[in-house]
Structure 1
Amino acid sequence: MVEQAAQPSTTLFGRYSHAWRALRHSNFRLFFAGQSISLIGTWMTRVATSWLVYRLTGSALLLGIVGFAGQIPTFLLAPFAGVLVDRLERRNLLVWTQALAAVQSLAMAALTLAKVITVPEIIALSSLQGLINAFDMPGRQSFLIQMVEDKQDLGNAIALNSSMVNMARLVGPAIAGVVIGAVGEGYCFAIDGISYLAVILSLLLMRIAAAPARRAIGSTIDQLKEGWSYVTTFRPIRTILTLFALVSLMGMPFMVLMPIFASQVFHGGPHTLGYLMGASGVGALVSAISLALRKSVRGLTTMIQLSAALFGAGLILFGLSRNLIVSLLLMLVVGFGMMQGLAASNTVIQTLVPEDKRGRVMSYYTMAFVGMAPFGSLLAGALAHRFGAPHTVIITGSFCIAGAIWFTTELKAVRAVMRPIYVEMGIVKQPLEQAVEESAGTR
């Protein structure tokens, strides 16, 4: 009787073991552990920075300006960073970016705790973080393939990485709300600075096969041109990045406006801000888990299409809501749609791109994700200043839905280009092979 009772749980465990298969790679396990700690600090800093700016100024426009300053360096420098990522040893690059990010957070902490920080200093330090991210993000995305080794596990690694990001997004803002309410924003920055030690240690403990630095074939300009030509002429990546850039420009900056919703729309404080950010994180976490449960990248282009529409619809309804409970539920929808599109786009692009162009292509992905956001932050801040935060998210959500409609018109042509690549990789079967299997199955 005992053995029979134990059987279902064992079967269940085996049935879903593919959901964490990337963790069988020791390097990825180290990265997962280190980043899990560090990202909690990162999200604490994001919430604390927004709240600090709004507490000092009460200005929606300055919230947008700070967001712009923190992200514009990534937009300007990401293509050059991509060339560098394709040339250098990626682990060493990441150790340096994480160390510099720790210094930046500790500087924010020191100035805030000393009660001498000003908006110009916040803008300057946010710009420094944006400069670091320009190199860190394409480096980290490109390094994934070295950590998991088996490309078949790449999609699962990206989904697990997204789960980790969103678990931190759930926990970080909640902790930040408590810390800000109890002792102030400075301690959030200090915790973030210390948390970078975890990911630096995990990188140093990895056993990566030694490889010489990639030597440039041609000048930096030539490599930039080659990367740009590939991105703009290869239809699947061009189409996905175009939609992603639109969603990042119009949709993602909703987070910049959360302090306004927390204080003016829902008449709350830092705890309310933490709830709103946390609800979005829960939705994003559910999305990432759903992607981790997938066994193949097949069908992800449909998910990109649907997620943009869901994200836009969630934003529109959130802008219309004046009830905190309803708005928290809508933040679940917004977070789910946002993460589904982000992770699905990342997985499809990383599956298709050749290794010698990975750094440069992921730098354009970084431009589309982070690089468009500063313009979106500035636009969102200006629109909120003129029309109010609720009307702003209604407008931006409408653009996300329009982008989903456009992507739908491109989907057939995109799949036609992708199919031969997927057949060659064994992801999709040849029509004849598929017909033989189906015929055998009917006997």
Structure 2
Amino acid sequence: MSAWGMRDFRFLWGGRAISLLGSWLLVVAVPAHVYALTGSVFATGLTLAAEYLPALLLGPIAGVLVDRWDRRRVMIVADLFRAGAVAAMLIGTPAAIYVAVIAESVGAVLFRPAAQAHVPAVVGTGERLTSANSWNAATDGVVRLIGPPLGGVLLVWAGFEVLICLDVASYLVSAAAIALTRRRKAIRQERVTFDFKVFKQLKLARVLLPLSGVFLLANAALSALLVPFGVRNLGGSAQVGFVLSALGIGFLGGAVLARWLGRIQLRTALAAAQLATAGGFAVLFSAHDLTTAMIAATVIGMFGSVTVVAPQTALQRVADNAHLGRISAAFLVVEAFATLTGALAGPWLAESASLHFAAMTAAAITAIGALAAAVTVPRVMLATKRSNEQVDAHA
């Protein structure tokens, strides 16, 4: 609860939570609305491509801008821009929706690295940073749990236009909440460009970047297989919804678990969590009953959350705050590339061989990534800002 005692963090957390919920309300609604308009599976799938394309193209540029500009102001402007972009969906045509999704994603490409870099400036890099990231991880779990089904219900009950208005309002509330935080002294730099010097100087970032890509690629492949697997093996789409809810519950547990792992080394926490996630993947896609699948999904959510939160916390502590925007943007680019690649590779492998073979291959890749983390990640402790061991992270 240490971060919760800080007024500025409460505003940051509240704004992020509300805007995140607004976005997740549309996760089901936007593709469903496009499908209703076009009747085309391909046209519906383009909404995913439109969401991730800006991160691939603009991530490095966004990192430079975030490190050059005042991050608080960047987040406010990004929220206002996203509110306008989402409002454009009210035009109603598929083309307008694609353009709006791309524009909203552009705002997210600026907001996310700015937020990740700004949190340590608000709460510091000690115990409160772990607390802040745990709060954010718990929020992600709750939103993942309630956002998509709530959006689906509201789409049927109130209509697409109401959901759009709710998302617009969420971004406006987020911008107002961030505006209520105190201004902080900007980090002045003579010249900020995107280059690889940051990664050459910081071994931790250099090692974690490909490891993150491998994990997210496997995760995206399995996510793309979850719906057809649930329909074939678990009984239908309703059962898939229960599995997704179990993932959300696991994310909540992961937020608590991440706090307890602060006393051990990052390499140990990351390798153990990723190996447990790989085991959860294997059990889930071998399950023939809903109970086993939900237990496996809870394990995946819990340890998958740690796999994401622990490296983020370590980087926020070890890296110079003046470089965090570019580092976060680089990870955002890798996330977008890995997600798109995995979402295409998983179904392709399932059709070429079998769904079970594709799922077990992705689980094996996740396990190999865990072993690589145990060997390659520098000796960095999660609990403190600096220690003698952390010198190795810069080597």
Q: TM-score range by the shorter chain?
A: 0.7 to 0.9
The separation in 2 between residues aligned to 1:53 and 1:302, in whole angstroms, is 44
The separation in 2 between residues aligned to 1:352 and 1:145, in whole angstroms, is 11
2:373 aligns to what?
407
Shift of 1:267: 4.8
1:165 aligns to what?
140
Shift of 1:181: 4.7
Give the partner amino acid of 1:195. S
1:173·1:278 contact (CA, 8 Å) conserved in 2? Answer: no
Counterpart among 324, 340, 351 of residue 358 in structure 1: 324
TM-aligned CA distance change 1:183 to 1:64, over 3 Å: same
2:258 aligns to what?
291
Counterpart among 284, 300, 304 of residue 318 in structure 1: 284
- Residues 100-119 of structure 1 correspond to what in structure 2 (within 5 A)? 100-108=81-89, 110-111=90-91, 116-118=92-94
Deviates more, 1:79-88 or 1:308-317: 308-317
TM-aligned CA distance change 1:319 to 1:126, over 3 Å: farther
TM-aligned CA distance change 1:407 to 1:333, over 3 Å: same
Give the partner amino acid of 2:322. D
The separation in 1 between residues aligned to 2:77 and 2:337, in whole angstroms, is 21
1:22·1:156 contact (CA, 8 Å) conserved in 2? Answer: yes
Give the partner amino acid of 2:373. F
What secondary structure, in the 3-state scheme, does the structure 2 residue paired with 1:425 have? coil
Counterpart among 309, 315, 319 of residue 349 in structure 1: 315
The separation in 2 between residues aligned to 1:160 and 1:289, in whole angstroms, is 9
Match status 1:224 vs 2:199: no
> What number of residue pairs does the alignment pair up?
390
Deviates more, 1:327-336 or 1:185-194: 185-194
1:86·1:356 contact (CA, 8 Å) conserved in 2? Answer: yes
1:304·1:340 contact (CA, 8 Å) conserved in 2? Answer: yes
1:398 aligns to what?
364
Counterpart among 154, 159, 166 of residue 191 in structure 1: 166
TM-score by length of 2: 0.86
Give the partner amino acid of 1:193. V
The separation in 1 between residues aligned to 2:12 and 2:385, in whole angstroms, is 30
Shift of 1:158: 1.2
Deviations 1:337-356 (A, max 9, x none): 22110001101111110122
The separation in 1 between residues aligned to 2:260 and 2:281, in whole angstroms, is 26
TM-score by length of 1: 0.78
What secondary structure, in the 3-state scheme, does the structure 1 residue paired with 2:51 have? helix
Match status 1:204 vs 2:160: no
The separation in 2 between residues aligned to 1:39 and 1:424, in whole angstroms, is 29
2:80 aligns to what?
99
Shift of 1:422: 8.5
Shift of 1:94: 0.5
TM-aligned CA distance change 1:396 to 1:189, over 3 Å: farther
1:425 aligns to what?
386
Shift of 1:51: 4.3
Counterpart among 132, 141, 145 of residue 116 in structure 2: 141
Give the partner amino acid of 1:128. A
Deviations 1:83-126 (A, max 9, x none): 11111111111011112222333333x25xxxx543x5544433
Give the partner amino acid of 2:251. A
Match status 1:88 vs 2:61: no
2:50 aligns to what?
69
RMSD of aligned C-alpha atoms? 3.1
1:231·1:238 contact (CA, 8 Å) conserved in 2? Answer: yes
Deviations 1:214-244 (A, max 9, x none): 55423x5xx312xx22214532222222211
Which runs of 5 or more structure 1 residues have no equivalent in the other structure?
1-19, 430-443
Deviates more, 1:341-350 or 1:319-328: 319-328
1:439 aligns to what?
none
Shift of 1:286: 0.6
Which runs of 5 or more structure 2 residues have no equivalent in the other structure?
391-395
What secondary structure, in the 3-state scheme, does the structure 2 residue paired with 1:372 have? helix
1:287·1:336 contact (CA, 8 Å) conserved in 2? Answer: yes
Shift of 1:186: 5.1
2:393 aligns to what?
none
The separation in 2 between residues aligned to 1:386 and 1:102, in whole angstroms, is 42
Deviates more, 1:349-358 or 1:150-159: 150-159
2:205·2:315 contact (CA, 8 Å) conserved in 1? Answer: yes
2:242 aligns to what?
275
What secondary structure, in the 3-state scheme, does the structure 2 residue paired with 1:320 have? coil
Deviates more, 1:233-242 or 1:137-146: 233-242
Give the partner amino acid of 2:324. R
Shift of 1:130: 2.6
What secondary structure, in the 3-state scheme, does the structure 2 residue paired with 1:224 have? coil
1:33 aligns to what?
14
Match status 1:234 vs 2:207: no
Counterpart among 373, 376, 386 of residue 339 in structure 2: 373
Give the partner amino acid of 2:115. R
What secondary structure, in the 3-state scheme, does the structure 2 residue paired with 1:208 have? coil
2:221·2:362 contact (CA, 8 Å) conserved in 1? Answer: no
Task: Give 1 or 2 for the bigger CA radius of gyration.
Answer: 1
The separation in 1 between residues aligned to 2:156 and 2:319, in whole angstroms, is 46
Shift of 1:79: 1.4
Counterpart among 169, 178, 195 of residue 153 in structure 2: 178
Shift of 1:36: 2.2
1:95·1:200 contact (CA, 8 Å) conserved in 2? Answer: yes
Match status 1:303 vs 2:275: no
The separation in 1 between residues aligned to 2:77 and 2:346, in whole angstroms, is 33
Give the partner amino acid of 2:219. G
Deviations 1:137-175 (A, max 9, x none): 111101102221464421221111111121111121231
2:214 aligns to what?
246
